[in-house]
A and B are shown apart, each in its own frame.
Chain A
Amino acid sequence: MSEAFNPRIVGFFCNWCTYLAADLAGTSRMKYAPNVRVVRTMCSGRVDPQLVVWAFRNGADGVLIGGCHPGDCHYQEGNYKTLRRMGLLRTMLAQLGIEPDRLRLEWISASEGERLRDVMNEFSAQIRQLGPLETKSSVISSQSSVAQAAP
C-alpha cells in the first residue's frame, strides 16, 4: 500500500463519562490515534441505531459508542438501553456485510483517561486491520423519504 489506510471512526460519547474521560486524557496530555471523531450526546442511550447506520453509510469505517459503566449511568440506566440496542444491531450489521467488530460499545468512566486512550488506539488499530468499509459503492441514492436523511 502506497498510502496507508487511515480509518475514519465516529465516536458517540456520553457527556458524563466517556466524553469526560476524553477531556481527562487531554488534560493529562496522553497521546492517541487521531482516527476517532467524537460526537457528544448527553447519554449513550441517545445513540439511535439509525445514527450508527448513517455513519456507516457516510463513510465511517467504524463506530465507537462510549457510555458510563453499568450501574453508573448519569441517567440511571440509559447505558442498559444502549446495550439492548447495540447487541441486536451488531447481528443485523453482520447480515449487511458489516463486520460486527466495526461497532464497539465501551463503558469508560470519567476517571479512566488511560483506558480511553487505550480504547482509541486499540479500536483504530482493529479497524485498520479490518480495512476500509466502503459502503458508498453499494448504496443507491434515493429520492424517496425512506432513505432520505435529514440534512
Chain B
Amino acid sequence: MIRLAETAGKLPGVVVSREYKYACSDPGQDMIVQDVRKYGLNRVVVASCSPHLHELTFRKTVATAGQNPYLFHMVNIREHVSWVTEDPEAATAKAEALVKAAVLRAAFLRELEPRRFPVNPNVLVVGGGIAGIHTALTLANANKQVYLVEREPTIGGHMAQFDKTFPTLDCAACILTPKMTAVKQHPNIHLMTYCEVGEVSGFVGSFKVKVKKYPRYIDEDKCTGCGECIEACIFKEGKTPSEFDVGLSKRKPVYLSFPQAVPPIPVIDPEACIEFKSHKCPKSCVEACGDRAAIDFTQTTREVELEVGAVVVATGFKPFDARRLPQYGYGKHPNVYTSLEVERLVNASGPTLGQVVMRDGRKPESIGVLHCIGSRDENTNRYCSRVCCMYSLKLAHLLKEKTGAHIYNFYIDMRTPGKGFEEFYKRLLEEGISCIRGKVAEVSTWPQSPAEEGKLVLRVEDTLLGAVRRIPVDMVVLSVGLEPQADSGQTGRLFNLGCSSDGWFLERHPKLAPVDTFTDGVFLAGCCQGPKDIPDTVAQGGVAAAQSLALIDKGCVEIEPVTAFIDQEICSGCQICIAMCPYTAIQFDSEKSVAALNEALCKGCGTCVAACPSGAAQQNLFLDEQLFAEVQGVLV
C-alpha cells in the first residue's frame, strides 16, 4: 500500500497521495476533506473497495470539501485485486495500473449535478404471503397507499397452510388470519388477488407497473362472499385436487381456497367447470347468486396500470419437489408424504379434520421424518433451507401428539439456532422422539424380515452408532427444502434483480443492505431472498417497509447523472441511436433533423454512445475521453 501511494504520487497531476487504512471511516474522510481544502484539489481518486460499496460515501466527502462530487473516481483494489491475487508483487502491479488509469481518467471528469426526481408515495408489494402482508400493513399504517398483488385467489401464502408454528406451537391460522382480515379492511391497501405483475418500467420514485388481472368469473364488487354458489354447484363433490390442501382433498370447479380466504370471493376454474366445456350447464350457481348477479362467465384477463414510487418483492418460495429424489418413493409409496402435506394432515380444518389417517386408511404406529430432502445435497440444492430441522421437530411433536406413534427424526446436523429453538429440541427428546443422525439412503417396501412386512423400510447409516440400520415404519415424512419460485428468473427480469447462484434474489449487501437490491427503489422481503422462518420474514418485511418509507418520505430521489446526451451541433440525425434505446428516450427532431434525448427517460446504459457514428452521443461519467484514458492507463 505504501508503494502504491508512492507510485501514485508520481503520476501526472497528482498533488498529494496518501496511504490510509480505512479511508471510508470518519478520520479517513476527514483527511480527504482537509487535503482538498489545503491543496485546492479539483480531482480525487480513492483506491479502496468496490464502488458499489462506497462510491456514494466518497462523493459526499468530496462535496463536503466544497468540490463537485463528480470530480471523484474510485478504484477497486480490494475485491478486484488484493482479495483475489495470490502473488503480492503481481497484486501491487495490478493496483498500480488501475490507479494510474483512474488518475488519467480523472483528468477528464466534468462537474455534474445529480438528477432529482419526485417520488410517488404509493408502494407496490408483490406477493401476499406473510412477508407481503406484514410489509403492506406496516406501510398502510404509516398512511401510504399500498397495492398488494397476489397471484393466487387468496393472500396468506404458505403460512396459511401450516398447522402450528415452531417453537411456540402457536396456531398459524390464529396468528395469520387476523392480519389477512386487517389487509382486507385497511383503507390504504388495494388488494389485488389473482393478479400478476406483467410489466415494469420507469425507475426509483416513479415506476409504472402493468398488472394482469386474471378472470375469476365472479365479480369482486358484486360478490358478498356468501358461498352459496359453491353449495349450489352441480358437482356435489369436488373432483379437482385442492391446491390449498396440496392435493389431499378435492374441490369443486367453483371454490374458495380455504374458509378464511381473503378476499372471501370464490373462483371458477374454467378447466373444471362444465359451463366452460360444454356451455350446457344448468348454471345452478348463477341461480343461487340470484340478484347479486356476481357470476360472469365472460370475464377475460384485464390489465391494470399502477404508478408507484417503490416496490417490495415478496414472492416467496416453492417447496422442493420430492419426486426429484426417487429413492424416497414419493408418489410411488402412498404413505410417503411431504412435510407440507403433513401440515394439512395434522390441521384441525384440514382434509381429515386433524385425524392423521394415511392414504391407505390406517393410522400410523411408527413414523420416520427425513430431514434435508432437497437441502444440503450436492445433487439438488447445496444450501441449508434453515427451517426444516425446526419444522420437522414440530411435525414430530404434532404427529406424536395425534397418533402416539413412535417417531424417528433422521438428520444430518440438528440445526436449532433461534430463540427457544434448542429448548424445543430438548423438549422433543424428552417426549421420546428418536433422533438418528444419518441421512436416509432409501425408502423401500422389500421386507427382509417379518417385522418389515407391509412397512416402509428406511435404510440409513446411523453415524453415531457407526452402523447401517434398517428401520421399518408405517409413514414417511419428507422434510422438503425451500426453493426459489419456478418463475423467479422472470420476476427477476421484471424488476432487474440479480439472483444468487441458487436462484434467490440478491440483496445489495449481505450484511448492511439486506433488503435493498441493485435496482434502486426495489426491496426484498421474505423467502424470495433466501430461506427463512416466519419471525425473520416478518422482520425483513418490516425493514422493507421502513426502507420504502425512507425513500417516500424524503420526497425526492437523487440519481447519479450517468445519462447520455447528444451534441446537436455534431449530430447528423442519422437515427441509429433511436433504435438502440430500450426506453424510447431518443426521438428524432425532424425540424432540426437531429436526435433529441429526453434525460428523464434515459437510464444511462450508453449503448447509443457506442453506436453513434458521429461521436455526438456521449454518456456522463463514461465519456469517450474518460474511457480512452482509462484504457490507456491500465495498459502502462
Contact = CB atoms under 8 A, between A and B. Distances in A.
A112 interface: yes
B606 A45 contact: yes
A122 interface: no
A22 B81 CA distance: 10
Contacts of A149: 628
Given A34-B90, A41-B622, A59 B50 contact: no
B492 A51 contact: no
B610 A46 contact: yes
A41 to B, nearest CB: 6
B498 A58 contact: no
A19 B76 CA distance: 10
A40 to B, nearest CB: 7
Interface residues of B, number: 57
Contacts of A25: 79, 84
8 contacts: A17-B498, A23-B76, A26-B76, A27-B79, A34-B84, A45-B605, A110-B499, A111-B498
A20 B93 contact: no
Given A17-B498, A47-B610, A110-B518, A151 B104 contact: yes
A39 B634 contact: yes
B627 interface: yes
B635 A60 contact: yes
Task: Pick from B81, B84, B98, B607 the residue with the most CB of A within 10 Å.
Answer: B607
B207 to A, nearest CB: 15
A26 B80 contact: yes
Interface of B: 50-52, 76, 78-81, 83-87, 90-91, 93-94, 97-98, 101, 104, 107-108, 492-493, 496, 498-501, 506, 518-519, 562, 580, 582, 603-607, 609-611, 619, 622, 624-625, 627-632, 634-636
Which interface residue of B76, B632, B635 has the most chain A CB atoms within 10 A? B635
Nearest to B499: A111
Q: Which of B107, B499, B622 neighbours the largest number of chain A CB atoms within 10 Å of its CB?
A: B622
Nearest to A32: B84
Contact of A150 (B93, B94, B624, B634): B624
Given A42-B604, A45-B580, A49-B610, 9 more contacts: A20-B52, A23-B76, A27-B83, A46-B606, A46-B622, A74-B519, A111-B499, A151-B107, A151-B108
A34 B83 CA distance: 11
A72 interface: yes
Contacts of A49: 610
Interface in A14-38: 16-17, 19-20, 22-23, 25-27, 29-32, 34, 37-38
Contact of A37 (B79, B101, B604): B101
Contacts of A38: 76, 80, 98
A125 B319 CA distance: 42
Contacts of A32: 84-85
Contact of B499 (A10, A27, A109): A109
Given A16-B518, A26-B80, A51 B628 contact: yes
A151 B625 contact: yes
Given A34-B91, A39-B101, A109-B498, A8 B606 contact: no
Given A23-B50, A34-B91, A76-B582, A111 B500 contact: yes
Contact of B84 (A20, A26, A42): A26
A29 B81 CA distance: 10
Contacts of A55: 631, 635
Nearest to B492: A72
Nearest to B609: A46
A106 interface: no
Contact of A29 (B84, B108, B518, B622): B84
A64 interface: no
